Amino acid sequence: MTKLDELANILKNAPDEVFIQPHNVPDPDALASTFGLQFLLGKKGIPTKIVYESEVEKANSLKMLELFRIELYLPGEIETLGKEDWTVLVDVQKDNSNVSDLVTEEVAAIDHHESMGDKGYRFEDIRPEVGACSSIIARYFVENDIDIPNNVATALLYGIFMDTDNLTRGVSELDIEMFYHLYNKTDIALINDLKSNQISKLDLVDYAKAFSTVEVYDQLGFLCLDNGNDSLLGAASDIVITIAGVNVVVAYSIRDNGIKFSTRSINKKIKANLLVRYILDGVGFGGGHESMAGGFLPLENLDLDKNLDTLVRHRAISYLESSL
Q: Which residues bind Mn ion (CB under 5 A)?
A: 29, 91, 133, 163
> To the nearest whole angstrom, how small is the minimum distance from the Cβ of residue 152 to Mn ion?
17
Let me know: does 260 contact 98? Beta carbons within 8 Å.
Answer: no
CB closer to Mn ion out of 135 and 229:
135
Nearer to Mn ion, 31 or 236 (CB): 31
Task: Please give the Cα distance from 323 to 269 (Å, whole number).
Answer: 6
Question: Which residues share a beta bridge with 259?
Answer: 254, 297
| Residue 288 backbone class (left: φ over 0; alpha: ψ -120 to 50; beta: rest) | left
Yes or no: say if 74 and 93 are a contact pair by the CB < 8 Å rule.
no
Q: Which is nearer to Mn ion, 133 or 297 (CB)?
A: 133
DSSP percent split of the chain into helix, strand, coil, nearest 5: 40, 20, 40
Looking at the Cβ atoms of 128 and 149, the one nearer to Mn ion is 128
| Residue 131 beta carbon to Mn ion: minimum distance, rounded to whole angstroms | 8
Burial of residue 192, with CB atoms counted within 10 A of its CB: 0-12 exposed, 13-18 middle, 19 or more buried: exposed
CB 20 → Mn ion: shortest distance, Å? 14
Rounded to a whole number of angstroms, the minimum distance from the CB of residue 206 to Mn ion is: 23
Least distance in angstroms from the C-beta of 173 to Mn ion: 17
Return d(Cα 49, Cα 38) in angstroms, integer: 8
Residue whose C-beta lies closest to Mn ion:
29
Least separation in angstroms between residue 178's CB and Mn ion is: 13
Closer CB to Mn ion, 260 or 315, in the complex:
260
Q: How far apart are CA 287 and CA 77, in angstroms?
A: 31
Q: Closest CB to Mn ion among 133 and 274? A: 133
**Per this entry, what is the length of the chain?**
324
CB of 10 to Mn ion, least distance (A): 23
* C-alpha count within 13 angstroms, C-beta hemisphere, residue 151: 12
Please give the Cα distance from 153 to 160 (Å, whole number). Answer: 11
Question: Which is nearer to Mn ion, 29 or 106 (by Cβ)?
Answer: 29
Across-strand partners of 262?
Answer: 251, 294
In sequence order, which residues have a C-beta less than 8 Å from that of residue 98 and are 6 or more positions away? 23, 24, 25, 92, 230, 294
Separation between Cα atoms, residue 3 and residue 7, nearest integer Å: 6
- Report how many helices (DSSP H) and strands (DSSP E) the chain contains, helices first: 11, 12
Q: What minimum distance in Å lies between the beta carbon of 30 and Mn ion? A: 6
For residue 321, how many other CB atoms are within 10 A of its CB?
Answer: 8
Cβ proximity to Mn ion: between 91 and 124 the closer is 91
Nearest-approach distance from CB 86 to Mn ion, in angstroms: 22
| 110 phi/psi in degrees, rounded to 5 | -125, 115
Residue number with CB closer to Mn ion (29 or 230): 29
